[in-house]
Structure 1
Amino acid sequence: MAAKKRIKREESDGKEGFGPVTVGLREAESAILLLNCSENEVVVCACDALYKFLSKSKLTCVNRGRYSDDNNKRLLLKQNLCQNLLPLLSSGDKLVRRNALSILGLISSFKDAADAIRKVPNYLSLFRKLLNPEEFDNTREFTLLTLKNLCDDSSTVGDVVQEKLIPPIVDCLNCLDPDVKKNALDALLKMNKDFEVRSALAVTSTLQLLLDQLGSEFPSIQNTALLVFSRLTSDCKLQTTIRSQLQKMNAFDTFIDLLGKPELNDLHLAALSVTEHLLEDVNCVKVSEIRSHHGDIKTLLMQDLLRSGKLHTLFRFLGDQEAKRESDKQPQVGASSTKGKGGSPKKTSPQKSPRKAKTQEEKPSVITLPETKIHACYAVMRAAHNADIRRVLHDADVEQMLVHLLSHEDQTVRSSAAQAIAVVSRSSLCQERILQLGGLEWLIRMTCSEKYETKSAGALALAALTTGNPALCHELAERSSGIDCLLSCLDLQDPGAHTAVVSGLTALTSLALEESTRPMVLQRISGKVFVPCLLSGSTTVQTKAALATAAMICEPEKLVEFCENDGIQALVHLLNSPVPDVCRSACWAIFTLGADSHAAKLLATSSVIKQLLAINRSAAKRNQFTALALQRLLDAKLEIKFALTGRLDFSDQIQNQFYDVGAVLSVSDVLSLPDYMEQTLNDKRPIYVISIGENHSDEDVFQQVAVAELHDGDTIENKTLPAGVLTMAVDDRLVQWLEHVRVHIEPLTNPRQQFSELAEFVASQYGGCVKLEDLETFRPELALAELRAQRMSNVIPIGTIRIGNQLHRTLLFKFLADQIGLPTTLVRGNYGRSYNEVVLEDRSETGSSHSRTYIVDLMYTPGRLIEATSRKALEYISLF
């Protein structure tokens, strides 16, 4: 619009003088030289000539096919046009300023011209003066055009904000000249990328001015205003402020009305973009709360949208139905009365010729364009994030429209419809409706596609549909390619396919958690399928892969395959992730896999337990999942648990090859039993071992190799079996003790009697009772030192000890009680003292029973059960 304007020359108000002088210029260089003339009339004529030269070149030279107007602009720039023009902006003559700016606006799109303008001191302050309403409209128009071109550089936008130039630009929207409005909107649209500019526009008066531009007669002004609104409403930081102000202005109805006018179809794409952003916020639509007779509050959203047809106006873009025009509803003969772009009536105009009418009919409607349907799907998707709006959408049968788009010829439309279905499917009612309409089959086909965009959208919708819906899970599992299409998503390694991988993992996990579909999924899943996902660079993929591992890697053969493909190492590596969700999911997988004794042995290594201990010591990282994982691994490695915590609980049963290394501060201080056996005799604390001579199976050997792989300093590549695995010899005396207990104590029916006799038996094997007066002379350390010297090792089987102290007796008592099913604890007290706790049911005189905890006396009066809360129990713990 600006380039087509002809600058009018105004009469001078000066005194009578010579008549007008006609200046004839043949070369552009001559006109540039005249810009330095002291006579304003000459300068005005020179600017006029240069403007005509630039404007006419676009019309003539291009048509002749010689060169474009850009060549003319470059030619003038080489003649130092900017250096001669810029001083004219400060001229005292309004006409000179206007004509100079007209040229500057045309050439400011070139980098050299823009750089020359930026070098002018305080050029933005000068532009502020040129935006004054007292200036010519043309002056303001070309000033805005120049500003718009300068804002191609982000640094200029920052300078504009710092100079507080946004309010003068916004004030230009009040101008009656449409070119001024258009350039002001273009400048705001280009500067709108900056957050500070958006903050400056988030004012009620400014938003109202922008909203008023939607009633303009010019589509370009309306469209640019809509684009400004689209960028404003999409700002995550300012969306609450802007949307609340638009709600007060009832702006949502304004945008919906634009969508309902077919004569404004060239604005529908931009209007849809704004509408989709507003629908994301429930407060932008009319909301009313009604209290029912039960006293609960029901929120009725968009209660008038269905009745007024506004919701159907939006849904119209999901289909191919064209809205009826007012002229179609009331046909006239000889003349047609139409409405302007802003809705204001125009004068009656004669009907168009058949040729023109045919040309207009052949023009494709915006409603059939794929871009329109994509924006409509996004609008539904954003609105469906709210549960109450999903209910309204379901009542309007939006599922049928979205399922219909799944068969659209454009793949982007299909993907957009699937993404909308993924959000709508958060409602169980919508899930059932989509299943009835056959949408599941279309989504399976999309998930089988080789194109990432289509595959990701289909998998995303399937993941949403199968969440919490057993019927849909069963339908998907029953389809021939239902599970296969989800498994194909896991094979994608491209970074752009992370959505498909995440969705596939989510859907498979949902199927595995349903009782009816779990066998079908486990039958198709291999133990190695999740390992590449655990090693993915995406934290979301890692999180979902760990959850899927916890849900599906449960059968023995799958566990073995998972371990053989380095699944344990990949899972343990996730514990170091800085993302809380990844660490939490990995801990849950460790906890579930640890239910299997084989997997628990592989996981319960010093390095893994050390990581979990560090996580649980951190207040920022500790949570219930990390605590569960640590507890599971400590339960699988009782040697480390007792060394660190000093307590074995009732459920912790001591088995063969258990060894006690004493209290340690770090898990790194606990070595494996073969490592202790390889050590020579030293002055360190003895290692007490339980060895009843069970043979090592192939599984035990494999566990030892896998544990070696996870141990600190070992590499995964070292998978060869050790040359010689040291094993403890059978502790024959301990085997005899165990056999005696099983024959004489286990058959007893009274638990109290069992505990007492077992305590007496243990004390008798370790030197009998110790009287209080003999405590000072009771020195089992001498006999123990002699035994260590005989064995030339620090590893001592507990069956070889003849005189046992409190620790020896409590360890043996715990082991024997566990073997015959008597629940007891083993607690390491202060200064190396240890004791056992048991729980018995005591009946009162009234017949009621309650549980009490007792301390087992193994030293002073073997077989005595001391109530744990009594003073005698405290004395026993302190004395021994």
Structure 2
Amino acid sequence: MGKKVKKESETPCKETFEALPVVGKTPATVVLLLSSPEEDILIKACEAIHTFAEKGDESKVSLLGLGALEPLCQLITHNNKLVRRNAFMALGIMATNGDVKSALNKIDVTPLIIDKLSLEVIHEFATLCLASLSVDFVCKVQIFDNNGLPPLIKLLSSPDPDVKKNSLEIIFNLVQDYQSRLAVHELGGIPPLLELLHSDFPVIQHLTLKTLQNITTDKDTRNAFREQHGFEKLIDILNNTVGRCDFSDLHAEALQVVANCLSDSESVQLIHKDGGLTRLMDFLLTPNMPEIQSNAVKCISRVAKSSENRKVLHEHNVEKVLVELLSVADIGVKTSACQAVAAMSFHLSSKDRFRDLGGIPAVVQGLSSESLALRQAATQALSNLTYNNKHSAFAVFEAGGHEILVQQLNGSCPRMVANAAATLGNMARHEIICCSILSHGAIPALVEPLKSTDTQVLVNTTQCLTVLACDTEARAELQRAGGLQPLVSLLQSYHKEVLSNTCFAVHVYACEESAAVEMCKHGALEILQEINQSVNRKSSYSELAMISLLNCNLSVKYSLTGHLASTDVIVDGFYDAGKVCGLLILTLEELFKQPVNQHRPIIVVNTSTDSTQFFFLKKKKCNCTVSLYRNKTEDDTQKDETKCEFPTKKVWKMMDDSLQVLIKEVKESILPLHEHEQYAALARLVSEAMGGPVRMEKLHEFPWVLHLSELKFQLQSNVIPIGLITKGIYYHRALLFKCLADCIGISCTLVRGEYNRAWNEVLLFDGPPARNGCSSQPCRYIVDLMHQPGSLLAADTAAAVQYQTI
């Protein structure tokens, strides 16, 4: 048998299959094919997905669920041009669906698309995809950050209209944001945009105008736009002078761009050329074209910002046209017309023309519109019309506008509230109108705007309140409505105009004593004192408000300023607490509650004849707490005593308060005397009541300190009635002199000095009347109450200075 021989292995077959047609009957199968390594299969699969996605949103969502997005996003970077193209086609169609768009943003495909914009073969679908995605804010940021604007601007000059339209749509979405608006003109985007105005496709023309409308809101962009003769091209479109084309369908949007451009004086000058202003006037009366009319009126409003242009418009009789537009049905046209009226009202003759043409009732009707924009524009127009114009104010009044304006003070729109307050303030300067405004509850309605955070609302509200404070009842009404507290709170504002107006309002309302007292309770004095100590916030208004409040609280005024004028009349309850250090000013009741201390006593004036006017309540078996109660009845006293354990009552009258005796004596013996004799006699009377004359060198021996300490101990209080003091020095005697002088109506001041000094100044005529019959100038004198009582020391002499200082 022969040996077995090993069989040789067969040679591998080098033959390949012929190309097989791939047929995918289900979307899922086609999506699986997107992962194939075969380029032909990828091309056909992407094409099939594109065709399927074109059927509608349901198909797009189905493909999303099958996971088609991720492989498509990978294929847009494929080396094969046809694969890339078809992948972009499929992705672009799918991206028009909202769900797909959201999914693409999560995949972060935007940088990949931007990177491929330079490849001509996929421009249409790449830009289509970006156009869908660029609606989203995140995608817009990605496009900008990945330098997507330069290639997009370049594509505006593409020969393919679809590429132009898609690129323009992306740019339009981007320029909603400020940084993109700036970048468009910096990257040279304005010239290609202007070229697109001549496109044969209306959609491109409209998109271009919308884009220009956005970018021309920026001043620098408007300058670049004007340098490229863009404004003139817009005027040509409005005049239909470009070739043989009819641009009437573009007029509304072109006018919006023109309105933006007219914010600059340079463009306003250009509008006068080539009949631009006349053309605008023609648009105002375009029948059945509300959008064009509205935009034309906006242009007129921008032109009217210049006083010179207002004069030109007035010569064109623009007021008549605007009054006609106030009567049209379209709300947008009415609103724009009111805005134009507001702008033109800065021209005095135009105010009169509007009124004469019956335009004011038409504007007043706009106050009742359901449209917030119209109501706001109407209030602005009325505010401007009534400013410094009596006849217009009465025209609004006769049309019943003030009633509606009062209601609008409680509106939610700050600008409307501010305009309503301004208009009412303008009208209230006339007494008849003011009374009617008050009768409709204007002051209570102004309380809520006082709490606003909008500065213009606060400025106009405080002005209006000041004008309405025409009588006692009006001022009391603000107090009853709870408006004084928010008014005082505004004193803390750091806005200059708000603070000035608030200070002036405080000054006006402080003439009512009850209002002044309440404002002081809310801290107005402390806030004003702090303001007046500030270099930046102090003003003549803050000083005026401070003076007004102090004039209603002479005790505080004397503590803060150390001076009472001859017109400041001391009344019952006045107290001298000494010079105040810091901002805290205690009331008399608070001073009574303090325990007895070593500080100088508080001297109080009690001119009442009622023995129960002032009294103390002191508790035994407890700390000595002293309280002041005013105008108590016997029943009230008994109730208070039942609350205390072992109470005792100390009435000042029982301690020989001689103030009433002095007042009676002054009225009987001094009032009948001549002027010079009155001062001398009153000085001697005060000196006798306070311990008599004291020689300068013996002043240190005068036991006034011991006497006051004994009174404090007897009363168990730091507060001492001036009628109980029988040994007083300069500041006691000066206060008593002022008090008695005020009781009989003779004029003198009270001035606090240093080191317990105080004095009274009087004005006297020394000589006979001058030859022309006029009185000579009065001379100032210091009344000596201490050393040579009754002597009148000429002010600024050595004797007077010695009396005032140590």
> What's the TM-score once normalised by structure 1's chain length?
0.76
**8 Å contact kept, 1:233–1:242:** yes
Please name the residue that 1:691 is paired with.
Answer: 606
Distance in 2, Cα, partners of 1:418 & 1:93: 62
Structure 2 residue matching 1:495: 3-state secondary structure: coil
Note if 1:597 corresponds to 2:513.
yes
Q: Secondary structure at the match of 2:428?
A: helix
Asked if 1 retains the 8 angstrom alpha-carbon contact of 2:110 and 2:139, the reply is no
Q: Displacement, 1:778?
A: 1.8
| SS at structure 1 position matched to 2:135 | coil
Alpha-carbon contact 2:510-2:548 (below 8 Å) kept? yes
- Cross-structure match for 2:630: none
**Equivalent of 1:420 in 311, 321, 340:** 340
- The 5 Å alignment of 1:319-334 reads 319-321=285-287
8 Å Cα contact 2:570/2:742 also seen in 1: yes
- Which of 80, 83, 99 matches 1:96? 83
Distance 1:409 1:110 in 2: 39
Amino acid of the structure 2 residue aligned with 1:642 = Y
Change (3 A) 1:590 1:231: same
Relative to structure 1, is the Cα distance of residues 863 and 622 closer, same or farther in structure 2, using a 3 angstrom cutoff? same
Q: Which position in structure 1 is the counterpart of 2:71?
A: 84
AA in 2 matched with 1:317: F
1:409 aligned to 2:329? Answer: yes
Question: Where in structure 2 are the equivalents of 1:763-778 lying within 5 Å?
Answer: 763-778=687-702
What is the CA–CA distance in structure 1 between the aligned matches of 2:317 and 2:610, rounded to whole Å?
68
* In 1: Cα distance, 2:384 partner to 2:23 partner: 76
Is 1:223 matched with 2:223? Answer: no
1:144 to 100, 103, 127: 127
**2:280 counterpart residue number:** 314
Residues 1:241 and 2:231 are matched in the alignment:
no
Report the counterpart of residue 471 of structure 2 in structure 1.
Answer: 555
What residue identity is the alignment partner of 1:90?
T
Tell me the residue number matched to 2:542.
626
Q: Secondary structure at the match of 2:333?
A: helix
- Say which SS state the counterpart of residue 44 (structure 1) adopts: helix
Question: Does 2:366 align with 1:446?
Answer: yes
Question: 659, 663, 676: which is aligned to 1:734?
Answer: 659
The percentage of counterpart residues that share the same residue type is 32
Indicate conservation of the 8 Å contact 1:83/1:116, yes or no: no
Cα gap change, 1:683 to 1:175, in 2 (>3 Å): same
Asked if the contact 2:556/2:585 (under 8 Å) is kept, the reply is: no
The answer as to 2:167 corresponding to 1:188 is: no
Deviations 1:383-437 (A, max 9, x none): 3333333223222222222211221123343233223322322222221111111
- 1:382 matches 2:302: yes
Question: What corresponds to 1:397 in structure 2?
Answer: 317
Query: Could you tell me which amino acid in structure 1 is paired with residue 246 of structure 2?
Result: E
What are the ranges of 5 or more consecutive residues in structure 1 without an aligned counterpart? 1-16, 58-68, 288-301, 322-367, 697-721
State whether residues 491 and 503 of structure 2, in contact with CA within 8 Å, keep that contact through their aligned partners in structure 1.
Answer: yes
Q: Which deviates more from structure 2 when the two are superposed, residues 100-109 or residues 181-190?
A: 100-109
Q: 1:131 aligns with which of 117, 128, 131?
A: 117
Please name the residue that 1:44 is paired with: 43
Residue 836 (1) aligns with residue 802 (2):
no
Residue-by-residue CA offset, 1:820-860 (whole Å, 9 max, x unaligned):
5555433333333323345567899x999777655443323
Q: Secondary structure at the match of 2:603?
A: strand
AA partner of residue 131 (structure 1): L
Aligned to 1:200: 183
Specify the alignment match of 2:711 in structure 1: 787
Q: Counterpart of 1:357?
A: none
Q: How does 1:22-37 map onto structure 2 within 5 Å?
A: 26-37=25-36
Change (3 A) 1:394 1:748: farther
Which residue type is aligned with residue 440 of structure 1?
Answer: I
Q: Deviations over 1:229-255 (max 9, x none)?
A: 211223xxxx22122222323322222
Give secondary structure in 2 for the equivalent of 1:423.
helix
- How far residue 188 of structure 1 moved from its aligned partner, in angstroms, is 1.0
Q: Distance in 2 between matches of 1:226 and 1:616?
A: 56
| 2:387 alignment counterpart | 467
The 2-side partners of 1:424 and 1:695 are apart by 67
- 1:728 deviates by 7.7
Q: Which amino acid aligns with 2:302?
A: R
1:270 equivalenced with 2:253 (yes/no):
yes
Map 1:155-194; keep pairs closer than 5 Å.
155-194=138-177
C-alpha offsets along residues 250-305 of structure 1, whole Å, 9 cap, x if unaligned?
Answer: 32222222233393233223222212222222232327xxxxxxxxxxxxxx543x
The 1-side partners of 2:349 and 2:697 are apart by 81
- State the match for 1:665 in structure 2: 581
1:18/1:583 Cα in 2 relative to 1: closer, same or farther (>3 Å)? Answer: same
Kindly state the Cα deviation for residue 79 of structure 1 after the two structures are TM-superposed.
Answer: 3.0
2 CA distance for matches of 1:474 and 1:811?
Answer: 53
Is residue 635–residue 641 contact of structure 1 (8 Å, CA) maintained in 2? yes
Q: Tell me, yes or no, if structure 1 residue 502 matches structure 2 residue 502.
A: no
Q: How big is the shift at 1:87? A: 2.6
Q: Tell me which moved more, 168-177 or 860-869.
A: 860-869
Equivalent in the alignment of 1:486: 405
- Report the AA paired with residue 79 of structure 1: L
Q: How many residues align?
A: 749
- The structural deviation recorded for 1:140 is 1.9
1:70 to partner: Cα distance: 0.9
Query: Greater CA deviation, 410-419 or 805-814?
Result: 410-419
Tell me which moved more, 408-417 or 123-132. Answer: 123-132
Contact 1:186–1:224 (Cα < 8 Å) also in 2:
yes
AA matched with 2:116: L
Corresponding residue SS for 1:776:
helix
Shift of 1:470: 0.9
Tell me the CA shift for residue 592 of structure 1. 0.7
> Quick one: structure 1 residues 736 and 425, their matched pair in 2 at CA, closer, same or farther if it must change by over 3 Å?
same
Q: Is the 8 A contact 2:182 2:215 kept in 1?
A: no
Contact 1:101/1:143 (CA < 8 Å) preserved in 2? yes
Shift of 1:520: 5.0
**Alpha-carbon separation, structure 1, partners of 2:431 and 2:283:** 41
Q: C-alpha distance in 2, partners of 1:791/1:406?
A: 78
Query: Deviation at 1:694?
Result: 7.0
Structure 2: which 5+ residue stretches go unaligned?
1-15, 612-634, 641-648
Partner residue, 1:715: none
Q: Aligned equivalents of 2:767 and 2:230: distance in 1?
A: 76
Cα displacement (A) at 1:466: 0.9
| Backbone CA RMSD of aligned residues | 3.8
Query: Distance between the aligned counterparts of 2:114 and 2:686, measured in 1?
Result: 99
- 1:610 matched residue in structure 2: 526
> For residue 461 of structure 1, what is the amino acid of its counterpart?
A
By how many angstroms is 1:225 displaced? Answer: 1.5
Query: Is contact 2:602-2:718 (8 Å) kept?
Result: yes
